[in-house]
Structures are given as structure tokens and as C-alpha cells.
Amino acid sequence: MADASFDAVVIGGGQQGLVIGNYLALNGMTVGLFERRHELGGCACTDSTPIPGFIGNPHAEHLGFWNSPCNQDFKLHEKGLNFIFPEVMASMAFPDERCLVFYTAVAWDKETGEITPNLEIVGKNINEVARISPKDAEKMAKLAEKSFWDFFTAVFLHLYNPPPLAGEPDYIESQLNEPESLLDPRYPFMTEYEIICDLFESPELRTYCITWNHYNFVYADDVAPIPMALLWLSTIFGVSGLACAQGGTHNVAHALQRALSEQGGQFLVNADVDKVLVENGSARGIRLADGAEIEATRLVIDATDVEQTINRHLRDVQINTDIRRKINKLRHDRGQPFWGHAAFHELPQYRAASWNPDVGKARWLVMGDPDPEYLFREYRYRAQHIKPGQWPPKMYPTASTETQWDPSYAPPGKHLALVGEGCAPPASWLTEREWVQVKSEVGERIIAEWQAYAPNITPDNIIGVNIGTPYDYQQRNASWVDGDVQPPSIVPSQWGKYRPIPELAQYQVPGIENFYLASGHHNVGLIGCSGYNCYKRIAQHLALKKPWEGRMI
């Protein structure tokens, strides 16, 4: 006899498990959610860092979760989740004291989910580019007439729908076949560097675009999926809406948990799921590591990484050997940053403020030499081969001061910034001893780079620094394989209808009924789309509620 019984059992209490758990509960199902760690949230986490009295987000930081329809479907704004949209979305400071600054040009109605671009601010962003490159500004203005908005809409539809089946629209492919599209049909086969050089001419804007995607784990020499290869595009127009969750990213998890609990859903932390119980080709429940068995009368959802699913949870289940082989060959050589926080007394004073005084107000600020050739030919290799005492000659760090828009991150009068570098070696590439040494060096190295752009970032100003490494991430969360915080790596063979592999891209394992996968399929980041899209397929199969009918997504 089972120790507990639910209509639906969800493995993993990260954003995807919480999202899909809520939609299943919306149908009157009893839902039990089981999380291995001591708290819910997964990447939606907030810790005391770098020292007591300060808080920071050790993973998801620049949130697109406000786009998710679950905000309106479950009224998360009434459950403690508030988003802040800083005035300046992104900026890049250059060594010659010039900069690029892009202002937030989008308004969002939390009640309805309606998104409205501010075309006046879009024009302001184009004018900022014109100060450095009139030709690039001219190209932006042309894109803003129509083709950018068509592409932006297509990406939005791509994100919040499952990979298309036969007869369903493929929103990105339709853009490639559209004569007026901004997409050249060659783009799916070109490197990031080639695409950016095809669109823009100035080394400054090229460098900004390349560097922006470092933090989405696409590099200049990569051939990337089109939505990711052009992810920086929405930032230069100011419409990506890089929000932050007031009080910390963990409030996303809190709001989703409250919504689930209000619908009668239950959750258990420190509950390590050891295996999925399958009988006669149908999932009937789970067994925890402590031996407890949980019955699922209707379905089981696995929202952990797919390696855990196949190699642990389904280890005793007979499935296609080709599936196991492909899963064990997934790439995890992208997605490893240095990522952490610095606490300090006084706000950074940037040299580039003489060019634009708003440079330091950016939600996402990066620094570096405008050298796209270096970024294409050397950067990733050098960054992925960091060793103790061996650092790249050029780095492109981020330092975004969060207390400018949310003072709750620090004690009164003090400040906290997200700091990091967008590329590091996978965890397995260095020994534990080497990682300990690298961790002891990385803070000093990034602070030294930062000081070159903001001279008052001195030892006297710094209160504390804590920057995580891929080795740290691997220890923190079992889903972050080899320190890959957005697994598996973002490459065309692991994207869309191929993510993670073609056989599993529709959220099911062939041969197992009533079992679904809601892990990092189809996309990455804290936007909740994998859980949402998985639910869309379940709703089709089980005739459940379809709240998206009559709206865009």
C-alpha cells in the first residue's frame, strides 16, 4: 500500500515543476510536488551573500518570467510577486570612456499581461547608437519599421508553445521564409559573429551584441539556434524587459508555491525521488530515497534534468537503448559562468558617465574592449581554459548594481552588485584543488577589471565579494550537470524539436504512458515556458482546461 496518493505527482520543485503543478491543480487534481533540496525554487533562489546583511540571486537574475501567462492565470501579483523594470535596460562601457546605453522601452500590465512598446524610447535607443555609428543606427531604424516586430512576435510564440508537430505552425521557420523578414535564410548556418557582422558595422555595437550573448551562453564562434543567436536584438531596442523580482528572485517560487497551496496542492522538501514506478507500461507513482512510495492515480511529471530522469528515475525501466545513448552524449560545454556578488559602500563612478551619465544605472552593465575579432577568434577558448594563475588577457565582466532599484538587497546606505564573467570551464575540466584556487582568484580578477572602468571600486570601498564557479553550481543542484546552469548546452542539435533529443522533445518517453517531462525543454532561463508548454501537450491528451484559448499565448 502506498504511503500517500495524489492524482498527479511532480518530481522537482523548481520553476517548471511549480508552474505545471499549478495548471494541473487548476483542473481539480490533487497534486503532490517532491523536491530534493531543502527549499523550492531551483534556479529561482536568493541567498545571504556575499556576507550577512546582504542578499543576492546565485542563479536566475534577469527575469523574463513576467512574460509567463501564469502571472495572470494565478494572479501572482496578489501573492507577493512584484516586478521592477529599471529605467536603463542595458549598457556597455568601453575603455575610451564612451558607452552604449539602452533604455527600457516596454510597459507591462500585470493584471492583463498586455505588453506595450514605447516607440519614443525605441527611437531614443537608436539615437544612442547613432552617436557611435550612424550607419548602424540607420539599420536599426529600418528594422524598427516592421521586420523586428514580426520577428519579436515570432520568438514570443516560439517560446510559449511546444515544438511543432506536423500541421502546427513553426514560427521561426515562417520568418525564414518571409521575404520581408530580418532573417537571412543563411542565418541558421552562420556563426554568431557572422550574423552580427552581417547586421552591424561598428566594433562597439558588434562587441555589445557578442558580449550580451556570453551571458546567455552563446559565443561568437558558435552556430546557435536563431532565437538565441539574436537574443541581444530585443535589448538594443529596449523591449526585452529585463525585470527583477522585488525582494529577490526566490519570490517567484514563493508566489507559485502560494498559488499551488491555495488550490490544495501539497509539497515536500528534502524529498529525494529515487525512481519512477512503472507497471505494464504506465507510470503509477514514485519511490523516495527513504523507501516511501507515492501513488499517482493519473500521471507523473518529471521536472528534473533529463539525465536524472533517464539514468536514475527510469534506470530499471525498459526504454529504447538509443534514447539512453543519446542522453548520455548530450553536450554540456556551454552554460558555465562565473557568477556572484560584490557588496560595497559607495556606488560605482564610471568613467563613461562623461559620455552618458546613465551608464551605471543599467539593469545589465558589461565592460570591455570593442574587439569583436578577439571575441571571435580567442575569447571562448581562453576563458574555457582558465587555470589557477592563468587568466585571459581580455575579460568582459558584468557589474549591475541592484540596490539602485531595490534597496532591500543591502543594509541602508550600502550597495550590492551582480558581478561575473560569461564564460568559464565546465566543472570536470579542472580538479577540485584547481577550482578552489580559481575561486580564490576570480573575485580579485573581476574587481580589478571593474576598477579600470569605475576607479572608486577600491579595496576600501569593497565590503565583500563572493563569486561562484561551475564547480560550485554542480555541487548546489544536481540538475546543473558539469556546472551547466542552463542544461543542456544551447546548440542547434539540442534545441526546439531536437531538445533535448528528438525522441523526447514532445515531453514524453516513448513506451511509458501517463509520464511527462517538464525539465529545461525548448528554452532556458526563468520564464516558466517548459512547464507551461508541457501542460499544453497534457491538456491536448487528457482534455484539460486550456486557458490560452482566445489569447496570444
* Residue 419, domain member (yes or no): no
**Residue 335 · residue 167 · CB < 8 Å:** no
- Tell me which DSSP letter residue 238 carries: T
Which is it for strands 115-117 and 244-245: parallel, antiparallel or unpaired?
unpaired
Sequence-distant (6+) residues with CB within 8 A of 350 are 93, 99, 359, 360, 453, 454
**Residue 540 · residue 508 · CB < 8 Å:** no
Cell numbers placing 411: 543594509
Q: Residue 523: its pLDDT value, please?
A: 65
CA within 13 Å, CB half, 10: 33
* Residue 20, domain member (yes or no): yes
Q: Residue 241: its pLDDT value, please?
A: 75
Separation between Cα atoms, residue 488 and residue 553, nearest integer Å: 25
* Residue 360, domain member (yes or no): no
Separation between Cα atoms, residue 107 and residue 71, nearest integer Å: 15
Residue 82 Cα distances to 59, 67, 251, angstroms? 18, 13, 8
* Residue 383, domain member (yes or no): no
Separation between Cα atoms, residue 222 and residue 164, nearest integer Å: 25
**Residue 56 · residue 343 · CB < 8 Å:** no
Q: Indicate the Cα dihedral angle 443, 412, 350, 398, nearest 10°.
A: 40
Q: Cell numbers 564610471 label which residue?
A: 350
Separation between Cα atoms, residue 536 and residue 533, nearest integer Å: 5
Separation between Cα atoms, residue 467 and residue 439, nearest integer Å: 7
Separation between Cα atoms, residue 430 and residue 216, nearest integer Å: 22
In sequence order, the β-bridge partners of residue 541 are none
- Tell me which DSSP letter residue 375 carries: I
Q: Indicate the Cα dihedral angle 499, 500, 504, 509, nearest 10°.
A: -160
CA within 13 Å, CB half, 82: 7
Q: Residue 60: its pLDDT value, please?
A: 78
Residue 318 Cα distances to 33, 282, 510, angstroms? 25, 12, 10
- Whole-model pTM: value is 0.95
**Residue 279 is part of which domain span?**
5-42+248-330+490-542
**Residue 162 · residue 533 · CB < 8 Å:** yes
* Residue 73, domain member (yes or no): no
At residue 510, φ and ψ (nearest 5 deg) are: -55, 130
* Residue 117, domain member (yes or no): no
Separation between Cα atoms, residue 329 and residue 307, nearest integer Å: 10
Residue 100 Cα distances to 89, 92, 128, 180, 314, angstroms? 11, 5, 7, 28, 50
Three-state secondary structure string covering 65-115: HHHCCHHHHCCHHHCCCCEECCCEEEEEECCCCCEEEEECCEEECCCCCCE
pLDDT by residue for the chain (553 residues), tens only, comes to 799 999 999 999 999 999 999 999 999 999 999 999 999 988 888 999 999 999 999 887 777 889 999 999 999 999 999 999 999 999 999 999 999 999 999 999 999 999 999 999 999 999 999 999 999 999 999 999 888 899 989 988 999 999 998 788 889 888 988 888 888 999 999 999 999 999 999 999 999 999 999 988 899 999 999 998 998 999 999 998 789 999 999 999 999 999 999 999 999 999 999 999 999 999 999 999 999 999 999 999 999 999 999 999 999 999 999 999 999 999 888 888 899 999 999 999 999 999 999 999 999 999 999 999 999 999 999 999 999 999 999 999 999 999 999 999 999 999 999 999 999 999 999 999 999 999 999 999 999 999 999 999 999 999 999 999 999 988 887 778 888 888 888 888 888 888 999 999 999 999 999 999 998 766 677 888 999 999 999 999 999 999 999 999 9
Q: Residue 520: its pLDDT value, please?
A: 72
Burial 474-511 (b: 16+ CB within 10 A, else e): bebbbbbbbbbbbbbbbbbebbbebbbbebbbbbbbee
Q: Residue 417: its pLDDT value, please?
A: 96
Separation between Cα atoms, residue 221 and residue 301, nearest integer Å: 36
DSSP helix/strand/coil, 125: helix
CATH number of the domain where residue 23 is located: 3.50.50.60
**Residue 334 · residue 215 · CB < 8 Å:** no
DSSP helix/strand/coil, 271: coil
**Residue 366 · residue 386 · CB < 8 Å:** no
* Residue 222, domain member (yes or no): no
**Residue 368 · residue 396 · CB < 8 Å:** yes
* Residue 354, domain member (yes or no): no
DSSP 425-477: --GGGS-HHHHHHHHHHHHHHHHHHHHHHSTT--TTTEEEEEEE-HHHHHHH-
Sequence-distant (6+) residues with CB within 8 A of 527 are 63, 64, 65, 67, 68, 159
Separation between Cα atoms, residue 95 and residue 90, nearest integer Å: 17
Separation between Cα atoms, residue 19 and residue 39, nearest integer Å: 16
- Tell me which DSSP letter residue 162 carries: P
Domain count for the chain: 1
